[in-house]
Amino acid sequence: YDPSRRRHRYDIRQCMELSRSSIGIQCRILVIEVEKPKCILQLIYSMLNLRTLHVSYENDKRSNQYDLVKVLQHYLPSTWSITRFCYGHIIIQS
């Protein structure tokens, strides 16, 4: 593990491709970094077997005009629980 190495962040297109792949269809637990928080909903709605999502995203605190946890609670079924591990990292479970 090299913390100075830039890690890959998935964009919306790559998240869609992942969710449609054979591994994405079977995936129950996913740990991923995404470019934008809207990728989170795309993954949850398209990966039908997904039960746990550990997601990191770029968080600009200066321009963060909404609470992502509240937004996700609004759009996700009540069977999903959302925990903010820290700013920029959320754990979502069904």
Domain chopping of the chain, boundaries: 12-93
pTM as predicted: 0.83
> Each residue of 2-50: pLDDT tens digit?
555 567 899 999 999 999 999 999 999 999 999 988 899 999 999 999 9
* Helix spans in 4-81 (H): 12-20, 22-26, 38-46, 68-75
Confidence at residue 14, expressed as pLDDT on a 0 to 100 scale: 96
In this structure, the dihedral spanned by the alpha carbons of residues 57, 3, 10 and 42, taken in order and rounded to 10 degrees, is -40
Confidence at residue 50, expressed as pLDDT on a 0 to 100 scale: 97
